[in-house]
Structure 1
Amino acid sequence: MNPDVIILAGTVHTMDGRPPGSPAPQAVAIRDGVIAAVGSRADAAGWPAAEVIDFGDAVLTPGLVDCHIHPVFGLELTRGCDLSGAADLAALRALLRAEAAATAPGEWVRGWGLDPNVFGSAAAHRGQIDDAVSGRPCLIRLFDGHSALASSRALDIAGVTGPRSFDQAAEVVCDGSGRPTGLLLEAAAVELVARVMPAESFAERKARLAELLTQFSRSGLTGAHVMDCNDDSLELYRALEEETDGGLPLRLRISPWCMPGTGEPDWRGLAEQIGVGGRRWEVDGVKLFVDGTVDNGTAWLFEPDAYGESVAPFWPRPEEYAAAVRYFAGRGIPTATHAIGDAGVAAVLDAFESLPPGTGATPALPGVHRIEHLETVPDELIGRFSRSGLIASMQPTHCTHYSRADHSDNWSIRLGTDRANNAWRCADLRAAGTILGLGSDWPIAPFEPLPILADAQLRRRSGRPGEQPIVPGQALTARQALEGYTSHAARAAGEWQVAGSVTVGKRADFTVFDVDPLAAAPDDLAAARVLATFVDGQAQHSSVGTGRQLSSLP
């Protein structure tokens, strides 16, 4: 064996199921982008390599993979002022005034990441922002990514004067007289205004995307499951890759959207995209939705929320969703379905349980099928989920950032105590044997994986020890959390044979920490440093010097 490079670390967590108490390896050899050997430092002395990179006492794990993220969609959602720090209406208005003052005359005022809790018990209304932006066109994206608030001038420019009908469960919210309030629910309604806003150039979007992917890599990510594919997404990925000798700094697995109002000709077009890609990006799935979000009243619940909302499916005719599932599953195409409410999760289970025998994942039809989010799930669905073979993909910081232990937040108030106590049942799903991938859903929540790993264990926001944990019985162990970003992430993509553990023959994708993610206190882990990331055995980010020659090894 003549490896290209050897990486040394104080501890290597292989995540390959080796017996507890086994000595942790400290050396990994890589050849042609694949793991060639795993062993001790003494073993490494017998591996002749051109380069040795020694991280001393640091800890190496399989590369972290975010199981749900929106890089290109997020470019649009994060234009303008970050409003996530606004705690109340006064703070929101102050931020908007400052953003309006800094925006050139004639241009739109934009904001994003707004927590609906700032409105208190009042409904969001354009009148709350019109004077703050001096009557200018303004569009604010709420944090859930499924709703927005438009100013009066923005509605005028878009020609939105009353209610509209859509193929999906979307709504232009109107008052008793039929006048739009400015609140737009779900993509089709938001797009009425978004499409008349000035667009960024391709070059501007490409530059922003390049910087974003670099930030992902520096945070510890070596891969991501991308849950969108906008009009120019593939062109952006292709252009970036062509400009970079080594390719993108992390792997991207892309799932375009399949929306209500489509049929087999549209589904065929999505199926034909499977396999399109480059060196480190590929279309390898389809994303569907059965509901919206609890916070804006568009989730799908068995019983209405506190305001009588969240009782309608996103596909007005759920049987058409089930038909789409049959179409893709029957062709071995992986699917991921957004389902937040209990009725939504049940509908996805119904669709997969009704598939003809042999339609699901088999060696001949290897598609992996998942449910995304699962924010409130009763006991009876946990068992059904574990028997279904479906994979859960969840975002711990949705819980810790946007709900509260005392149920005083908008999400909990809408659901009521019983359903709020069924919040993000990560531990119960794992106990039932479910594969659980973890992620951020950026830009809905921050993408940095270390705080997410910590929050999954704490059930509160890391770095805030005074906060009470939210349904603490659903906390994950340190190993379960790390599995959600490594071994279970690989299984969630159908890639366990080639990724997800430090095992000979698998991809040489690694993340290097300055603390042990399996031993550090969660708050310490959240504040720790990522020393390096490797993809195909090549450093994509490194905060340390280059490697030492093999002769320096003992």
Structure 2
Amino acid sequence: MKFQYATLWSLVFLILLTTSCTTEKKESATLLIYGGPIYTVDSTQATVEAVATKDSVIQFAGSLAEAERFLGEDTQRIDLKGKTMTPGLIEGHGHFMGLGYNELNLDLMHTTSYQEIVDAVAEKVKTTAPGEWITGRGWHQSKWTEMPEKMVNGFQTHELLSAVSPDNPVYLRHASGHAGFANSKAMEIAGLKAVSNEGIDLFEIEGGEVMRDEFGGPTGIFNERAMTLITKHIPESTPEQDAKAFEMAVAACHRNGITGFHDAGIGKETIALYDSMKDKDKMKVRMYAMLTGWDKELLAEWYQKGPMIDADHLVTIRSVKLNCDGALGSRGAWLLEAYTDRPGHFGHETLPMDFVKETALNGLNSGFQVCAHAIGDRANREILDRYEAALDEVSDGTQDHRFRIEHAQHLHPDDIPRFAELGVIPAMQAVHLSSDRPWAIDRLGEKRITEGAYMWQDLLKSGIPIVNGTDVPVEPLNPIASLYASVSRKTLKGTPEDGYEPAQKMTREQALRSYTLDAAYGAFEENIKGSITPGKLADFTVYDQDLMTVPEDEFLKTEVVMTIFDGEIVYAKEE
């Protein structure tokens, strides 16, 4: 009898144990996604059949048969029906509020001539009260299909623009953001009608340039730091406008499959806005924000209190953005040798290099990453020198600083291996090659282009990851265009046939990593996002074509059809 009772209790215990284990293993998923290629960017399993999520976290990634163990009564099923899924894409360098305001103001991104700009402003004047500012962004003279009759240093002059807007001040930012175009009314408000005042040249400004005509008068083009002569007179945006621009930027991210965003340079007002949006549950993009280096008081405040690493993974501030030179399109990039198409001109050092070293030292001592904008080869070299000097002075070699150079677009060959040697991450926007390469050779000449421009594969082979992106609103946010540029090195019209300097192409796997896991690494966030791995955040992007297999000439037709953020569908394209 005792043996029978013992056997019975053993059987009951075994049943309870089995039931307990089964219950633990079968905790119901919130989402079950299956039915198409799923690329994980996880080295342990490159592809899976299914993914299960529990609320905002990935619960399982593997075979569909195993994933079905997580099905419950309330589990939402998403059948991809042959569509492709990857980790949520991360915009590795952009300007979030610039994205929103580009949708609110005049968007000149697709203009192909000066006359189109004039026509757009003339149309805007009809609905704008006299005296009210008209602002916009996106024009790029090197992309025009026809040039105006009158040009100075490769730029248009203001007369046509001023003629259609006599009563409204107008300021139109270059696509790069490193130059601006003002009409006569805007220059009048800025007090720049005269060349000099009491013997002082009003147009001389350190780190910038006011373009002048043959008579010494302003042409309307303000380069680099000279832009402040105009911009300081433009009224600040209202809280209502800021909120609207923010919401439009979030919606644009969702349409483009962007779930994370590295915001390259923000001030106190934007920080306050982001905190407010988070409190209102409107921060539906994971924001990795860089403090603007222009505000020394802001930097001092943050050095004292230290980084803000958000436990909710929505708004993190642990980096500083420095603007150290200009853009190639406006001939503001700081070069070691003069511009091929403007002899004697080397671009602009827009921030003292002593301040770069000072910031690097402060970053190392206070736990802040430093992200320095550098496009020209001299700017890149000078920054690497300052980073190296700071590391030699402070670091014991074990500190995980992950300093970055934003753009790293044109490098001297001697400086390419220094990125990996110093642990400096290049945050490069591949789509810039598609837009800039056809005319960049005019600025730099063939030798500098072939040896040091957009050196993606050389940098990757040296052992350093690349963070990809678009620099929106310099380029449209569309990640498909930047991924295409990464793997083809062609313009968005598909030229040239083999791509520019094809040895520097990324593989498709490298390109996807640059928008996911490597972008997460560039923000110290590779342990929480960037791959489809159990325990990481449930952020995904779904496409109507397979990015890994679609023919190159069909790649740009790929569309984002669904974006999942924090385990919830935030965008679904209507079929």
1:377 shift after superposition? 1.3
Q: Which residue of 2 aligns with 1:189?
A: 226
| Structure-1 separation of matches of 2:380 and 2:514 | 20
Q: Distance in 1 between matches of 2:444 and 2:495?
A: 26
- CA distance in structure 2 between the partners assigned to 1:282 and 1:220 by the alignment: 20
Change (3 A) 1:520 1:239: same
Amino acid aligned to 1:4: T
1:341 aligns with 2:366: no
Change (3 A) 1:183 1:326: same
Shift of 1:79: 5.3
Q: CA 1:543 to 1:179, structure 2 compared with 1: closer, same or farther past 3 Å? A: closer
Letter in 2 for 1:38: A
- Once structures 1 and 2 are overlaid, which stretch shifts more, 437-446 or 422-431? 422-431
**Residue 345 of structure 2: aligned partner:** 309
| Residue equivalent to 2:471 | 441
Q: Does 1:224 align with 2:224?
A: no
Alignment of 1:245-256 (within 5 A): 247-256=282-291
Tell me the residue number matched to 2:183. 151
Aligned residues of 1:437 and 1:488 also touching (Cα < 8 A): yes
8 Å Cα contact 2:353-2:383 kept in structure 1: no
- CA deviation after TM superposition for structure 1 residue 103, in Å: 3.2
Aligned partner letter, 1:126:
H
1:45 lines up with 2:73 in the alignment: no
Post-superposition shift, 1:286?
0.8
**Structure 1 unaligned residues grouped into runs of 5+:** 546-554
Q: Distance in 2 between matches of 1:345 and 1:445?
A: 22
- Residue 256 of structure 1: SS of its match in structure 2? strand
Instruction: Choose from 457, 462, 478 the match for 1:427.
Output: 457
The answer to whether structure 1 residue 355 and structure 2 residue 355 are counterparts is no
Specify which of 317, 331, 334 is matched with residue 366 of structure 2. 331
The structure-2 alpha-carbon separation of the partners of 1:218 and 1:43, relative to structure 1 and needing over 3 Å to count, comes to same
Q: Deviation of residue 302 (structure 1)? A: 0.8
Out of 61, 65, 70, the position equivalent to 2:86 is: 61
C-alpha deviation, 1:513, in angstroms: 1.7
Q: Any idea what the Cα deviations from partners look like across 1:122-181, whole Å, max 9, x if unmatched?
A: 433323422243464211111110110111211111223445589961333445665333
- Residues 1:520 and 1:361: Cα distance change in structure 2 (over 3 Å): farther
% identical aligned pairs: 26
1:511 Cα deviation from its structure 2 partner: 1.1
Higher-Rg member (1/2): 2
CA offset digits 1:385-431 (Å, max 9, x no partner): 22121111111111112331xxxx2x332222222333211122112
- 1:275 pairs, out of 302, 305, 308, with 308
Q: Residue 522 of structure 2 aligns to which amino acid in structure 1?
A: A
State the partner residue of 1:416.
445
- Per the alignment, residue 142 of structure 1 pairs with 174
Q: 1:235 aligned to 2:272?
A: yes
Q: Shift of the alpha carbon at 1:92?
A: 3.3
Maintained 8 Å contact 2:187/2:230 = yes
Q: CA deviation at 1:252?
A: 0.9
Corresponding residue of 2:18: none
Partners of 1:8 and 1:359 in 2: CA distance: 50
Number of the residue aligned with 1:548: none
Q: Name the CA distance, whole Å, in 1 between partners of 2:101 and 2:252.
A: 17
Give the Cα separation in 2 of the matches to 1:359 and 1:519: 47
Q: What CA distance in whole angstroms lies between the structure 2 residues aligned with 1:38 and 1:79? A: 41
**For residues 290 and 83 of structure 1, what CA distance do their matches in structure 2 show?**
26
Residues 179 and 92 (structure 1 numbering): CA distance in 2 closer, same or farther, change over 3 Å? same
Q: 1:483 aligns with which of 495, 513, 516?
A: 513
2:131 is the counterpart of 1:106 = yes
TM-score scaled by length of structure 2: 0.85
For the 8 Å contact 1:11–1:26, the answer to whether it is kept is yes
Relative to 1, partners in 2 of residues 1:12 and 1:74: Cα closer, same or farther, differing over 3 Å? closer
Letter in 1 for 2:78: I
Change in Cα spacing, 1:90 to 1:191, as seen in structure 2 (3 Å) is same
Which one is further off, 298-307 or 172-181? 172-181
- Deviations 1:337-375 (CA, angstroms, capped at 9, x unpaired): 101111111112111222245845977x54321111112
Correspondence for 1:388 among 383, 408, 422: 422
Contact 1:28 1:36 in 2 (8 A): yes
Determine which structure has the larger helix proportion and give its number. Answer: 2
Contact 1:451 1:527 in 2 (8 A): no
Moved more, 85-94 or 216-225: 85-94
SS in 2 for 1:238: helix
Distance in 2 (CA, whole Å) between partners of 1:26 and 1:299 is: 47
- Could you tell me which of 20, 24, 28 is aligned with 2:51? 28
Note closer, same or farther for the CA distance 1:269–1:82 as it changes in structure 2 (3 Å cut).
Answer: same
CA 1:277–1:310: 2 relative to 1, 3 Å = farther
Deviations 1:453-485 (A, max 9, x none): 112112123354677733333221111111110
Stretch of structure 1 that moved more, 452-461 or 166-175? 166-175
Equivalent position SS for 2:467: strand
Amino acid at match of 1:400: S
Asked if the contact 1:25/1:39 (under 8 Å) is kept, the reply is yes
Residue of structure 2 equivalent to 1:453: 483
Q: Does 1:376 align with 2:399?
A: no
Matching residue of 2:39 = 13
> Does residue 493 of structure 1 match 2:530?
no
> Using a 3 Å threshold, how does the CA distance of structure 1 residues 116 and 222 change in structure 2: closer, same or farther?
same
The alpha-carbon distance between structure 1 residues 499 and 168, as it changes in their structure 2 partners (threshold 3 A), is farther
Which of 529, 532, 547 is the matching residue for 2:562? Answer: 532
What amino acid sits opposite 2:445 in the alignment?
A: G
Deviations 1:531-553 (A, max 9, x none): 322222222222479xxxxxxxx
Paired amino acid for 1:378: H
Q: Give, as a single letter, the amino acid of the residue that structure 2 aligns with 1:184.
A: F
Give 1:179's match in structure 2, choosing from 217, 231, 249.
Answer: 217
Inter-CA distance 41–197: structure 2 relative to 1 (3 Å threshold):
same
The alignment of Structure 1 onto Structure 2 pairs a total of residues equal to: 529
TM-score (norm 1): 0.88
Structure 2 residue corresponding to 1:289, chosen from 299, 310, 323: 323
- Aligned equivalents of 1:494 and 1:350: distance in 2? 23
Aligned to 2:15: none
Distance in 1 of aligned mates of 2:310 and 2:107: 32
Distance 1:80 1:95, change over 3 A: same
Query: For residues 239 and 514 of structure 2, what CA distance do their matches in structure 1 show?
Result: 34
User: Which segments of 5 or more consecutive residues in structure 2 lack a partner in the other structure?
Assistant: 1-24, 196-200
Q: Distance in 1 between matches of 2:298 and 2:52?
A: 46
Q: 1:515 aligns with which of 541, 545, 550?
A: 545
Partner amino acid, structure 2, of 1:18: T
C-alpha spacing 1:58/1:403, structure 2 compared with 1 (3 Å): same
CA distance in 2, matches of 1:230, 1:467: 44
- Residue 92 (str. 1) matches residue 117 (str. 2): yes
In the alignment, residue 350 of structure 2 is paired with which amino acid?
F
